[in-house]
Amino acid sequence: MRRGKYKLVLFSFLLICATALLLPTFLAAQKKAVDDEGHQWWQHAVFYQIYPRSFADSNNDGVGDLRGIASKLGYLRWLGVDAIWLTPMFPSPQVDFGYDVSDYENVDPQYGTLKDMDALIADARRTNIRVILDLVVNHTSDKHPWFIESRSSRNNPKRDWYIWRDGKGSGQPPNNWISDFGGSAWQFDPKTNQWYYHYFYTEQPDLNWRNPAVEAAIFDVSRWWYKRGVAGFRLDAVDTLFEDPNLADNPIVAGKKSKYGDPVDDRIYNKKLPEVHGALQRLRAVADQYDAVLIGETWTKDINELKEYYGEHGNELHMPMDFMFTRVDRLSPSEFRRQIAAVDSAGGWPVFVLSNHDIPRVYDRYGDGQHNDQIAKLMASLYLTLRGTPILYYGEELGMENNDPKRVEDVKDPAGRRSWPQDKGRDGERTPMQWNPAENAGFSKATPWNPVDPRYRQYNVETEKKDPTSILNYYQRLLALRHSTRALLDGNYIPLNESDPNVLSYLRSYKGENVLVVLNMSSSAQPVKLELDGKGVTATTLRRLLASFDSPATGSAKDLTVPAFGAYIGELK
Ligand code: GLC
């Protein structure tokens, strides 16, 4: 008996030692590099953002769903997509269309079931596509059981999971903070005579990240999904995780009003507090155990802020989104040059986003009304040839444009109703995906929750696939080129002709392989005299890889003319 016990202890001891010795090797092996330079899968991947309500409706109720997404995996693979990011599909009262989560570990019945989610992850894996979810970390829905408990009494154990404070006086909120969607960021709750804080809608109370139990709960949610096979998260609204514990008033910017008619506050006490970084680094440590990737919704205003989100030791977010790029709202080579160079020098792996469910589509932002198709190809040629991971927003590959509501009574996005007519909200960039020229663009047999862009008969997958000059076929060829060209994946970014006001030119250079990208951002043809001296390239013969206009298969780098809004990608040999 005693001898048996001794053996058991010895065996356990050896097992612990072996685990301790082998675990790091096991974890390192898990982080499989995709090349000899140690790049990770997400560095060579093309991500595609799906707004589940609007992608494909399998049960014809007018709202997209998970089975709909699963039915389109073949299309995504054909296009060249390696990972899909689904905006929130968790149970939600849908005040903010899913960004008000009432249960982090389930699927909203509108979108399907957990079984559908498991099937989607498995089907995607078979198709070689990874699935990324959207983790809403800053707040929950006011219908989340955590908040229901929290608001039930001042001494409920979950009270401190949210931010509750006394008002300054009768009817006076605790301070002057303003919600991002208009009005005070505080809501009075008569039941307990206190105010709760909500950076976004009233129905989205902020979690209290100073409470370790909250952090642990969210980390557990991430583990729960990793175990189901998700490959990472896009982290929603991380800038606003922490607030000043003393609730100091934000300074008010004199003489300005927001689109909601509020004073404009400089959010120094409730945005980008240093504590954010510790929390994200700990969340990263959890992600690392599952070889998962973390993408941040980080509205960085400059490179220093971007660097902080990568973490001093690269131990925070793999890919803080670079929205600085989306702020360049005109076709300005010098502005793009400046942003690209800055991001490229930040020391982390860049990520490029041009539009999303909060940002109007490329077609509208850069289109001039006459050359919109060329401009769509031009912009594709920009963000898909840079050093970094691109995130495509569904439908950009078709040249979908915003279909903004025409009447305030049609607006679905509550923020859009508040800011009408100055800003029409975000419905316009969330319209149904256009699959074919049939009714409702083949998205659904029922009336879609949000109207389809009327141009769908021309701009849809089926029609565009048949047209070799379509935006869709251009995207597909560009993605294929990107995947098969090492210089486009890993090459250095070398700007060329930096004082050219019309044409943005650069090289992507990898061990003697030089790919040239020339983007004419002007409305007239431009002869481009490439200044290659001192750029480490001697070759001057150009072999066309892809161009958005007719151009010879080979030519000279000294003699290149690019038509209005034309894009040229070639190899220097
Ligand atoms: C993020 C989302 C946006 C949402 C907000 C509040 O900014 O992208 O759609 O409204 O967070 O959750």
Residue to probe by mutation, ligand 1, list 50, 141, 142, 200, most atoms within 8 Å of CB: 200
Catalytic site includes residue 297: yes
Which residue's CA is the closest to the ligand 1 atom numbered 2?
Answer: 236
520 and 566 Cβ atoms separated by less than 8 Å = yes
> Do the beta carbons of residue 342 and residue 325 sit within 8 Å?
no
Whole-number Å distance between alpha carbons of 37 and 28: 15
Question: What is the number of the ligand 1 atom nearest to the C-alpha of 99?
Answer: 12
Please identify which residue in the block is written with the tokens 């894996």.
125
Active site residue 236: yes
Q: Which helix (H) or strand (E) holds 391?
A: strand 389-393
What tokens were used for 30? 């898990």
> What single-letter DSSP state applies at residue 399?
T
- Of 385, 284, 373, 342, nearest in space to 565 by CA: 373
Taking CA atoms, 410 is separated from 297, 420, 427, 449, in Å, by 28, 11, 10, 11
Residue 546: strand pairing partners: 569
Residues for the chain: how many in total? 573
- Distance CA(73)–CA(81), nearest Å, equals 9
Tokens of 33: 């590099």
CA 97–ligand 1 middle distance (angstroms) = 9
- Please give the number of the atom of ligand 1 that sits closest to the Cα of 136: 12
Output Rg (C-alpha) for the chain, integer angstroms. Answer: 25
Q: How far is the CA of 450 from the centre of ligand 1 (A)?
A: 18
Q: At what angle do helices 303-310 and 275-289 cross, to 10 degrees?
A: 40
Q: Is 570 helix (H, G, I), strand (E, B) or coil?
A: strand
How is residue 354 written in tokens?
Answer: 């041009």
What does the pLDDT profile of the chain (573 residues) look like in tens digits?
Answer: 456 666 666 666 666 655 555 554 444 444 689 999 999 999 999 999 999 999 999 999 999 999 999 999 999 999 999 999 999 999 999 999 999 999 999 999 999 999 999 999 999 999 999 999 999 999 999 999 999 999 999 999 999 999 999 999 999 999 999 999 999 999 999 999 999 999 999 999 999 999 999 999 999 999 999 999 999 999 999 999 999 999 999 999 999 999 999 999 999 999 999 999 999 999 999 999 999 999 999 999 899 999 999 999 999 999 999 788 888 989 999 999 999 999 999 999 999 999 999 999 999 999 999 999 999 999 999 999 999 999 999 999 999 999 999 999 999 999 999 999 999 999 999 999 999 999 999 999 999 999 999 999 999 999 999 999 999 999 999 999 999 999 999 999 999 999 999 999 999 999 999 999 999 999 999 999 999 999 989 888 999 999 999 999 999 998 899 999 999 999 999
Determine the pLDDT at residue 540: 86
Going through 327-382 in order, the beta strands assigned E by DSSP cover 351-353
Pick from 161, 77, 156, 58: nearest CA to 116? 58
pLDDT at 5 (0 to 100): 64
Best residue for ligand 1 mutational test, from 89, 142, 236 (most atoms within 8 Å of Cβ)? 236
Report pLDDT for 2. Answer: 57
Backbone dihedral region for residue 331 (phi beyond 0: left; psi -120 to 50: alpha; all else: beta):
beta
Task: Give the 3-state secondary structure of residue 386.
Answer: coil
pLDDT of residue 325: 81
3-state class (DSSP) for residue 513 = strand
- 514, 535 contact by CB (below 8 A): no
Judge contact between 374 and 335, C-beta under 8 A. Answer: no
Burial class (CB in 10 A: 0-12, 13-18, 19+), 291: middle
What distance in angstroms lies between residue 223's CA and the mean position of ligand 1's atoms?
A: 22
Nearest CA residue ID for atom 11, ligand 1: 237
Amino acid (one-letter) located at 209: W
Ligand 1 shell residues, CB under 6 Å: 96, 99, 136, 200, 236-237, 297, 357-358
Distances in whole angstroms, Cα of residue 530 to Cα of each of 167, 385, 542, 559: 64, 18, 12, 8
pLDDT score recorded for residue 30: 47
What separation in Å is there between the alpha carbon of 87 and the centre of ligand 1?
10
DSSP string, 485-501: -HHHHHPEEEEESTT-S
